[in-house]
Structure 1
């Protein structure tokens, strides 16, 4: 009798234990799903995703995707694996991709956040093997190749790609991402990676009715690994994140990359970002501003800017010109203004488009905008081929105009 009673008690305790475990697991994933919903439900906020393509322990592509859901406009930033820095997770100066090899994807994502100064709640990771398999499932990726490729690989085989618009299957995409040409610049390698990812997202969107159908997604979800703040996403949450990315207008996406100086450290060539890493932070901030801007979201024209340094700070015009160029503007020239004692930063419109001038001003928090009725001898807009001239004043800190100017008179007075 005592034995039977004890056995019942044990069974009862086990049932309670399983219920507790089940409730805990359910509660855990419910919180995770709610966290995803909280981020995605605000349709008026920027969504940021770190997209990784790996080949075993090696990172082939690391791209930050930022998207503004109301306009579907997006931007993509390539984060080179050889980006150099003092990485906390390693405790030394090294390549960024070494963090991935030694510490894994979560530590890698944290270091990218440190480099860019942008929070990246979502990480999506795909292996090259799965990427190639998905490429075949999607019927190939449509890639534009500007010049034909004929180059020899290390195993004496050849990489052959015709020029023009081509559709590459999984094996060809593998080769396309791996081939190298002697003397090829990093810019072309970066463009190849970004164009491949854009083509992949476009193909996913074209096949979304099949891939992302609720009854079918479980067949394809295993090809992706998704994370939210370091925790792995469940299938439902992964579906929500990927579905949002598919709304991206790939025809209007802007692309960019970290730029800097190559130096050799301990036998490794490392790319150290410009301006101690501040340049990429500025470009990201300006790009996000452009995504949020209604005017920039609808414009198709690339405006031409002239940047004039109206201060006594050396190099201010060139650094600011690079900032606007990285944000997608064309720079006609940058040089010193007619004098170096301008108090307020000024934007001069030469085309009578005040709204676009305001959009440019929002990049650098400048509200001092004037129409082109100023004598050219004053040094404002010396060329009719520039759409806008920006004169940098003492209130410009290298990123923003800090004075909060709101007057209407010429800042030089």
Structure 2
């Protein structure tokens, strides 16, 4: 009888210990700090790569950097035909080859290497997944411009400020128009992703439901776990979509033979050095409110070659475009014997001139305000300019 009592006590104690252990495990799961929360707490910069696989095989890629301290973000478009060395294939090929042959994690690392700025997370969606996510979020706000509504290329999407449901968001991402310019297409992709970011950040009541968050998480492919995704959406609640800085890669198109087939690839200028510099400047400026305001202003620029170095103004225009400037005029100066590079303020805005001068480390500045200036700043390149900096 005594042994039987001891046995029952041991069994009861074992059951109690199991219940306690299970309770502790559940508490740990629910209260553990996720990677996004840890990064935000230490005011680290977050890098999230958004990739959308279109039904026709094209890949939309937008690299999003977010600074938690200022709640500001920047979006860089990554053209799928960007030329890189694909190590595992031992050849130069388009960067999207890495995505399709090695997967999202390898692609994330490749884009991080391209920018020389770490990205920690990826979010990948197919067109059907994009449609499902947008519908779960009850639509995304977006400004639609220049969408053909008549003729063979017509898309049933109204122009203007609209809220797109899943099917319309899918059509907006996937439609093609033969005469659509590259910059217009990239701007369309970036408006789509910014709208998605805004809606994720503005859906806190919906995403507070674990069932809804689980549905969103199951509709994407990501290295963010469910808790981290929830933390990211909470942080995005402070993001102002109209203040997101947008950039694209500037470079030269070259024909490269891949697997015996010629393919046109985009190679960033100066072997990617200008791209790395411009990305670094933008993401560093996310820490400063004043710098962010400057980055969001598009400065109209005129560049004049005051030397006998052929093509100098055109190459310098490429440099400034990589930093987000709108170079509207490139020409020769009145003389090719300009010794010192000068930056001329055309509209009475010293900040525009200083920001332009900082890109090439120019020191000489003048003011010459016209009645109806077509540009904000004119730069006259002199012999002291080596193609990158004023010496």
CA contact (8 A) 1:53 1:126 kept: yes
- Which blocks of at least 5 consecutive residues in structure 2 are unaligned? 1-13
Check 1:320–1:72 CA distance in 2 against 1; reply closer, same or farther (3 A cut). farther
2:343 is the counterpart of 1:347:
yes
Q: Secondary structure at the match of 1:176?
A: helix
Match of 2:365 among 356, 366, 370: 370
Alpha-carbon offset, residue 252 of structure 1: 2.2
2:270 is the counterpart of 1:270:
no
2:275 is the counterpart of 1:280:
yes
Alpha-carbon offset, residue 289 of structure 1: 5.6
Q: Secondary structure at the match of 1:134?
A: helix
Residues in 2 aligned to 1:166 and 1:67: alpha-carbon distance in whole angstroms: 25
Match of 2:229 among 227, 238, 244: 238
Check 1:54–1:287 CA distance in 2 against 1; reply closer, same or farther (3 A cut). same
Check 1:342–1:47 CA distance in 2 against 1; reply closer, same or farther (3 A cut). farther
Residues in 2 aligned to 1:333 and 1:289: alpha-carbon distance in whole angstroms: 29
CA contact (8 A) 2:312 2:387 kept: yes
Residues in 2 aligned to 1:90 and 1:134: alpha-carbon distance in whole angstroms: 34
2:118 is the counterpart of 1:119:
yes
Q: Secondary structure at the match of 1:319?
A: helix
> 1:192 — aligned with what?
188
Deviates more, 1:182-191 or 1:79-88: 182-191
> 2:148 — aligned with what?
148
2:288 is the counterpart of 1:297:
no
Q: Secondary structure at the match of 2:228?
A: helix
Residue deviations 1:266-292, cap 9 Å, x none?
A: 335332224344453344345446545
CA contact (8 A) 2:338 2:381 kept: no
Check 1:152–1:391 CA distance in 2 against 1; reply closer, same or farther (3 A cut). closer
Q: Secondary structure at the match of 2:80?
A: coil
CA contact (8 A) 2:352 2:376 kept: no
Match of 2:376 among 387, 404, 407: 387
Residue deviations 1:332-351, cap 9 Å, x none?
A: 433345444635x5433344
Alpha-carbon offset, residue 167 of structure 1: 3.4
Residue deviations 1:53-97, cap 9 Å, x none?
A: 235895631111133445444332221222233311332233322
Residues in 1 aligned to 2:229 and 2:380: alpha-carbon distance in whole angstroms: 47
> 1:249 — aligned with what?
240
TM-score, normalised on structure 1?
0.71
2:354 is the counterpart of 1:358:
yes
1:196-215 aligned within 5 A:
196-212=192-208
Residues in 1 aligned to 2:388 and 2:244: alpha-carbon distance in whole angstroms: 23
1:91-106 aligned within 5 A:
91-106=90-105
Check 1:289–1:147 CA distance in 2 against 1; reply closer, same or farther (3 A cut). same
> 1:85 — aligned with what?
84
Residue deviations 1:196-252, cap 9 Å, x none?
A: 21222222233223225678634533334443xxxxx33333333343344322112
Residues in 2 aligned to 1:184 and 1:149: alpha-carbon distance in whole angstroms: 14
Residues in 2 aligned to 1:111 and 1:37: alpha-carbon distance in whole angstroms: 25
> 2:5 — aligned with what?
none
Residues in 1 aligned to 2:180 and 2:375: alpha-carbon distance in whole angstroms: 33
> 1:135 — aligned with what?
134
Q: In the comparison of the two structures, how many residue pairs are matched?
A: 361
- Which blocks of at least 5 consecutive residues in structure 1 are unaligned? 1-11, 228-232, 404-413
Q: Secondary structure at the match of 2:79?
A: coil
Residue deviations 1:120-168, cap 9 Å, x none?
A: 2232223433321121122223341423345669xxxx85334444433
Alpha-carbon offset, residue 365 of structure 1: 4.2
TM-score, normalised on structure 2?
0.74
Alpha-carbon offset, residue 101 of structure 1: 1.5
Q: Secondary structure at the match of 2:89?
A: coil
CA contact (8 A) 2:299 2:352 kept: no
Residues in 2 aligned to 1:248 and 1:66: alpha-carbon distance in whole angstroms: 12
CA contact (8 A) 2:201 2:238 kept: yes
